[in-house]
């Protein structure tokens, strides 16, 4: 069956689609990095060899294999090979602590662990706690070299039957609010994502975020399923991204907002030929309206922002190029996505009121691996018994059905009985011409319970003082919103996908329990 016919079905598997694409796109580049190009024919053959080797090592249909390494063509192919064996992929972050990696490997029950030398060196102190067979993607002494571990060329794996609710991958949360949770995403969820038709057969997609991130996978997987070419960057570098985009004639990219900001801030941005771009995407973190406007003005092609969660549920999309007057929003629910707002008691709020965002669609996690209690906490059931995923975000729908996000529920500040939304304050602070970005957190206050404190980084060459900035900002804010303190910092702490780590800011703040 052709790839086109497969993708038209209500359900299929990514491994089947890649095999069908290879039949007609045998010599076309599928994966590209700085050292290697893998064609569709080579990718299909390599997937078979990986799958056979996994089955030889007793990785049965529904078992887990883990990957923790820098992005490379070998990593990209291994991800697909695990799926062909019927395995569940657990992509782990190399930036995790050794203790967290050991915990995640044990939690997912990985039988085979693919890694590289950098990860192996980091795990040296806890290596004896890892029972999975180790395979080195980079040919180092991190484990058995990949080329030696692979099954012989021409090997064909034993066919497996995959069901829609079977695990596709387990993505672990960052662990910034406690121990990482394993989010089990089923094949049905991924199948829905790759059938959206966003990436055509001639797409050349820049992959500049890590392959262990859901942000990356929602771009990487459909690019390959639809016969496009994925250009893999081991690490994001703004100058290199622009050079590669120009060199390969990139048509698509998924970037997080901080990457857009770094790219647009480059003095030489406009000197690169980016005319091949058709569409750019963003997700995972707040995307400032002024930055969206700058991207639309100076970067060819459309711009779409997606709002959703790794856990799935409901997704909103903003076609920024079509709705330039809605750049302050995250768009409207995608077709087939049901998004509602609920109050503290779990009751839906009236139109125009603020509430927690909950969502439902065909793209929803099975649950948190081995944590039924956490899974239950993440769910909300409508009065008619439909299952929704809670986001923890607070928002409001406007009269046109566009969703404006206020903040994470846990980040809302309650000061003297008044609700203060940090995003409102951050938007005001960044109006100052010297300010590059800002983050506002609530800190303990003897007088008010909580009070807002801002952390601000300045644009290059600016020398504004904290005292003049706080006076300027507080002169523009309502009385209940005024900042108690403002801290200048070189950069805001961020996760691997660009989310500001507000917990770190709160923990590091030295003025706790002040009476302001």
**Chain segment 353-369, per-residue pLDDT in tens:** 999 999 999 889 999 99
Q: How many domains does the chain have?
A: 3
Cα separation, 162 vs 139, in Å, equals 31
Name residue, tokens 């698509």: 252
Burial 434-468 (b: 16+ CB within 10 A, else e): ebbbbbbbbbebeebebbbbbbbebeeeeebeeee
pLDDT at 411: 84
Q: Is residue 53 domain-shared with residue 119, that is, in the same domain?
A: yes
Domain contains 513: no
- Report whether pLDDT(177) > 60: no
DSSP state at residue 129: G
Q: Give kind and range of the element (H or E) at residue 513.
A: none
Long-range contacts of 470-479 (CB under 8 A, 24+ apart): 472/432, 473/425, 473/428, 473/429, 473/432, 476/428, 476/431, 477/425, 477/428
Beta carbons of 429 and 454 less than 8 angstroms apart = yes
The verdict on residue 379 lying in a domain is yes
Asked if 60 and 133 sit in the same domain, the reply is yes
Measure the CA angle with vertex 429, ends 486 and 302; round to 5°: 135
Interstrand relation of 403-408 and 387-397 (parallel, antiparallel or unpaired): antiparallel
286 or 473, which is more confident: 473
Cα angle value 354/342/311 (rounded, 5°): 110
Does the pLDDT of residue 482 top 90, yes or no?
yes
400 occurs within a structural domain: yes
Q: Residue 159 half-sphere exposure, CB side, CA atoms within 13 Å?
A: 4
**What are 306's strand-pairing partners?**
317
Residues 6+ apart with CB under 8 A from 9: none
Domain-embedded: residue 467 = yes
Q: Which residue has the higher pLDDT, 480 or 506?
A: 506
Same domain, 435 and 391: no
Q: What is the percentage of the chain residues whose pLDDT exceeds 90?
A: 82
Strand positions, DSSP E, 46-104: 64-68, 88-91
Give the angle subtended at the CA of 212 by the CAs of 206 and 218, to the nearest 5°: 55
Task: Measure the CA–CA gap between 137 and 127, rounded to whole angstroms.
Answer: 17
**Residue 12 main-chain phi, psi, to 5 deg:** -165, -175
- Among 162, 187, 212, the domain-final residue is 187
Both tokens of 55, joined, read 């089955």
Residue 391 contacts residue 358 (beta carbons within 8 Å): yes
Domain termination residue (choose one: 159, 187, 215): 187
Of 92-101, 170-179, 379-388, 463-472, where does mean pLDDT reach its minimum?
170-179
The verdict on residue 19 lying in a domain is yes
One domain, residues 457 and 331: no
pLDDT for the residue numbered 380: 97
Tens digits of per-residue pLDDT, 269-301?
A: 999 999 999 999 999 888 989 999 999 999 999
Is residue 205 included in any domain, yes or no? no
Q: How far apart are CA 409 and CA 416, in angstroms?
A: 17
Ranges 149-153, 317-321, 359-363, 413-417: which has the least confidence: 413-417
Residue 223 CA to residue 229 CA, distance in Å, equals 7
pLDDT at position 285 is 81
pLDDT grade for 179, boundaries at 50, 70 and 90: low
Domain match, 82 and 152 both: yes
Note whether 16 and 159 are same-domain residues: yes
Sign of the C-alpha dihedral, residues 164, 170, 238, 265? positive
Q: Mean of the per-residue pLDDT values for the chain?
A: 93
Cα separation, 264 vs 266, in Å, equals: 6
Q: Is residue 376 located within the same domain as residue 445?
A: no
Tokens of 166: 């079977």
**Is the pLDDT reported for residue 444 higher than 90?**
no
CATH code of 425's domain: 3.30.300.30
Select from 502, 498, 501, 500 the least CA-distant residue to 216: 498
Residues 358 and 470 in one domain: no
Report DSSP letters for 78-93, one per residue.
Answer: HHHHHHHTTPEEEE--
pLDDT in tens, 345-355: 999 999 999 99
DSSP state of 157: P
- Statement to judge: residues 69 and 177 lie in one domain: yes
> How confident is residue 112, by pLDDT bands cut at 50, 70 and 90?
very high
Domain span at residue 451?
412-508
131 inside domain: yes
Per-residue model confidence as pLDDT tens digits over 12-44: 999 999 999 999 999 999 999 999 999 999 999
Could you tell me the end-to-end alpha-carbon distance of the chain, in angstroms, rounded to an integer? 69
d(CA 159, CA 141): 32
pLDDT at 480: 81
Query: 425 and 344 in one domain?
Result: no
Residue 515 reports pLDDT greater than 60: no
Closest CA to 175 of 509, 505, 503: 503
Boundary of a domain, candidates 140, 170, 187: 187
Per-residue pLDDT at 516: 41
Report the CATH number that the domain containing residue 73 is assigned in CATH: 3.40.50.12780
Q: Is the pLDDT of residue 375 over 70?
A: yes
Lookup: tokens for 446: 């003897």
In a domain, 268, yes or no: no
Residues 485 and 383 in one domain: no
pLDDT band at 513 (very low <50, low <70, confident <90, very high): very low
- For residue 174, name the pLDDT band (cuts at 50, 70, 90): low
Report CA-CA distances (Å) from 347 to 355, 376, 381, 421, 442. 9, 17, 10, 21, 26
Two tokens, residue 199: 């990436």
Which H or E element spans position 512?
Answer: none
- Helix (H) / strand (E) element for 60: namely none
In angstroms, rounded to a whole number, what is the distance separating the alpha carbons of residues 192 and 329?
Answer: 24
Q: What is the model's pLDDT at position 178?
A: 52
User: Looking at the structure, do residues 24 and 169 belong to the same domain, yes or no?
Assistant: yes
The residue with tokens 């990957």 is 67
DSSP 424-479: HHHHHHTTSTTEEEEEEEEEEETTTEEEEEEEEEEPTT----HHHHHHHHHTTS-G
CA pair distance 80, 76, nearest whole angstrom: 7
């Amino acid at each position: 069956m052709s790839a086109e016919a497969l993708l038209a079905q209500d359900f299929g598997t990514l491994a089947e689609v890649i095999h069908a694409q290879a039949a007609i796109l045998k010599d076309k580049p599928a994966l590209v990095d700085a050292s290697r190009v893998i064609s569709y024919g080579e990718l299909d053959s390599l997937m078979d060899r990986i799958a056979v080797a996994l089955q030889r090592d007793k990785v049965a249909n529904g078992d887990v294999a883990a990957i923790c390494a820098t992005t490379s063509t070998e990593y990209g192919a291994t991800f697909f090979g695990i799926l062909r064996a019927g395995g569940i992929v657990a992509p782990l972050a190399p930036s995790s602590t050794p203790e967290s990696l050991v915990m995640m490997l044990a939690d997912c029950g990985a039988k085979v662990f693919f890694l590289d030398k950098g990860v192996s060196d980091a795990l040296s102190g806890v290596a004896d706690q890892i029972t999975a067979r180790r395979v080195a993607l980079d040919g180092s002494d991190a484990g058995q070299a990949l080329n030696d571990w692979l099954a012989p060329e021409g090997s064909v794996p034993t066919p497996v039957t995959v069901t829609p609710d079977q695990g596709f991958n387990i993505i672990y949360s960052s662990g910034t609010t406690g121990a990482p949770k394993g989010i089990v995403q089923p094949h049905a969820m991924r199948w829905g994502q790759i059938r959206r038709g966003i990436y055509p057969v001639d797409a050349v997609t820049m992959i500049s975020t890590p392959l262990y991130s859901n942000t990356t996978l929602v771009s990487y997987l459909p690019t390959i399923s639809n016969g496009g070419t994925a250009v893999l960057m081991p690490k994001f570098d703004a100058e290199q991204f622009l050079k590669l985009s120009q060199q390969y004639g990139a048509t698509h990219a998924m970037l997080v907002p901080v990457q857009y900001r770094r790219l647009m801030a480059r003095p030489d941005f406009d000197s690169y030929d980016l005319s091949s771009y058709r569409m750019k995407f963003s997700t995972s973190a707040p995307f400032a309206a002024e930055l969206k406007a700058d991207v639309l003005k100076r970067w060819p092609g459309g711009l779409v922002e997606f709002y959703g969660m790794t856990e799935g549920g409901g997704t909103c999309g903003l076609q920024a190029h079509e709705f330039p007057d809605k750049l302050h929003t995250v768009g409207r629910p995608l077709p087939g996505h049901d998004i509602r707002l609920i109050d503290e008691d779990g009751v839906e709020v009236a139109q125009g009121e603020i509430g927690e965002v909950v969502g439902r669609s065909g793209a929803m996690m099975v649950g948190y691996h081995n944590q039924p209690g956490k899974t239950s906490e993440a769910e909300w059931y409508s009065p008619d018994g439909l299952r929704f995923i809670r986001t923890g975000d607070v928002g409001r729908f406007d009269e046109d059905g566009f969703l404006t996000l206020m903040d994470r529920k846990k980040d809302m500040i309650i000061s003297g009985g008044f609700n203060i939304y940090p995003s409102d304050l951050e938007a005001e602070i960044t109006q100052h011409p010297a300010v590059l970005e800002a983050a506002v957190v609530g800190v303990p206050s003897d007088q008010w319970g909580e009070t807002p404190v801002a952390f601000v980084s300045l644009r290059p060459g600016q020398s504004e003082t904290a005292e003049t900035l706080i006076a300027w900002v507080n002169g523009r804010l309502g009385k209940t919103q005024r900042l108690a303190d403002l801290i200048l910092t070189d950069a805001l702490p961020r996760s691997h996908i660009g989310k500001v780590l507000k917990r770190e800011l709160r923990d590091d703040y030295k003025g706790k329990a002040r009476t302001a």
